[in-house]
Amino acid sequence: MNDLTYPPIKQAAWRVAEVEALFALPFNDLIFRAQQVHRAFFDANRIQLSTLLSIKTGGCSEDCGYCPQAARYDTGVENQGLLPMTEVLDAARAAKAAGATRFCMGAAWRGPKQRDLDPVLDMVREVKALGLETCATLGMLRDGQAEQLKAAGLDYYNHNLDTAPEFYGEVITTRTYQDRLETLDRVRGADLHVCCGGIVGMGESRTQRAGLIAQLGNLDPQPESVPINMLVRVEGTPLEETEALDPLEFVRTIAVARIVLSKSNVRLSAGRGQMAESVQALCFLAGANSIFYGEKLLVTGNPDVARDRALLDKLGIKAQEAEGSLGACRT
Ligand code: SAM
Ligand code: DTB
Ligand code: SF4
């Protein structure tokens, strides 16, 4: 059994039952433990800001039940081919000027073909040259592709496990859990930083939320960055009518992620647009130390920059600055 007290001593793999035991703690005890872990590894009043840009939108062949960009669901998303370099660089410059330290380029692909990857490599080079950390999320990678991204200057690759293995088949059938693990292996093998998390509020059970976090915690090494997304329920997707997750259960999920993934940046990701500021503040208290920053996620909305700045000011939270931002999660 893992020691649930401070300091966290983790020798063996996380078992789902251990992670569930964290979820079952009284709320105040859970948050207290998450704060202790958070403060052992991070400045508790500093967060990292990542800005997303959809560089290729819609028309995706996959069937991810949450996703507005899957071609098979009628969600009103307008398909758009790969953006020209100038638009990507304008967005990256604006993100940097607004205070983001990382720029994440997302593409609605099952995975990139070589002819898709070549222009993305150029984008990575140019965005990196602006002095931003670079991240890409392009779907499944084949042998050699992660190395090409690394050589172009990519810092992070985002590829999510999304949910527990036991619930996964209810949400996605066009790629397996194992496919995802293999892409993560390729990313790690190319010495890229791994950004890997999931989505909650898709109708999974608490045990399955614990299952997702156990999976993430047992990646070896653990991912440097862990996005925890609250499902954005988009009209036309199979998950549009899913019952909303209790916000306090979301806060618990963040706290458990913080305890299990003690040295990772835990990102309070999609869903902030629909989330009360008080709930976001509880997420920061529970150990979230990163957000998506900027008016848009990929195709859905996110709080605007002025609103986020005001919230951070109210909480006395400072944005991480560009230099040294990799250090905090590489200890
Ligand atoms: N197409 C690539 C892939 O799926 O690997 C990369 C982009 S995809 C949109 C990146 C991630 O966004 C998904 O793995 C999922 O975790 C998250 N996501 C997509 N739609 C979402 C939604 N409606 N609510 C919350 N998260 C979502
Ligand atoms: C992640 O975990 N969340 C981001 C990013 N990685 C690519 C995407 C969230 C997407 C939310 C719905 C949308 O706008 O498409
Ligand atoms: Fe395609 Fe990615 Fe959306 Fe799945 S999550 S449908 S792979 S864009």
pLDDT of residue 12: 79
Q: What is the pTM of this model?
A: 0.95
pLDDT of residue 123: 98
User: Would you call 283 a catalytic residue per the annotation?
Assistant: no
pLDDT of residue 133: 98
Cα distances (Å, whole numbers) of residue 163 to 15, 31, 169: 16, 23, 10
Strand partners, 50: 102, 292
User: Would you call 135 a catalytic residue per the annotation?
Assistant: yes
pLDDT of residue 322: 78
Cα distances (Å, whole numbers) of residue 85 to 26, 82, 124, 139: 50, 9, 10, 20
pLDDT of residue 3: 46
DSSP 221-260: SPPSEEEEEEP---TTSTTTTPPPPPHHHHHHHHHHHHHH
Side chain identity, residue 45: N
Distance in Å, CA 167 to ligand 2 centroid: 19
Burial class (CB in 10 A: 0-12, 13-18, 19+), 9: exposed
Smallest CA separation from ligand 1 atom 22, residue: 232
Tokens read off for 295:
């008016």
Smallest CA separation from ligand 1 atom 19, residue: 67
Distance in Å, CA 38 to ligand 1 centroid: 26
3 state SS of 319: strand
**Local structure of residue 283 (DSSP, 8 states):** H
**Local structure of residue 159 (DSSP, 8 states):** -
User: Phi and psi dihedrals of 24, rounded to 5?
Assistant: -85, -5
Tokens read off for 151:
């050589």
pLDDT of residue 118: 98
Strand 265-268 and strand 225-230: the pairing is: parallel
Residues in the chain: 331
From the CA of 227, the nearest ligand is 2
200 vs 247: CA distance, rounded Å: 11
Contacts of 94 (CB under 8 A, 6+ apart): none
Tokens read off for 34:
């998450």
Query: Contact 216/261 with Cβ under 8 angstroms?
Result: yes
pLDDT of residue 9: 55
Tokens 């989330």 locate to 275
Q: What angle do CA 149, 154, 157 make, to 5 degrees?
A: 85
pLDDT tens, residue order, the chain (331 aa): 344 455 455 667 999 999 999 999 999 999 999 999 999 999 999 999 999 999 999 999 999 999 999 999 999 999 999 999 999 999 999 999 999 999 999 999 999 999 999 999 999 999 999 999 999 999 999 999 999 999 999 999 999 999 999 999 999 999 999 999 999 999 999 999 999 999 999 999 999 999 999 999 999 999 999 999 999 999 999 999 999 999 999 999 999 999 999 999 999 999 999 999 999 999 999 999 999 999 999 999 999 999 999 999 999 999 998 764 444 443 3
Strand ranges (E), the chain: 46-56, 102-107, 133-137, 156-158, 193-195, 198-200, 225-230, 265-268, 290-292, 318-319
3 state SS of 278: helix
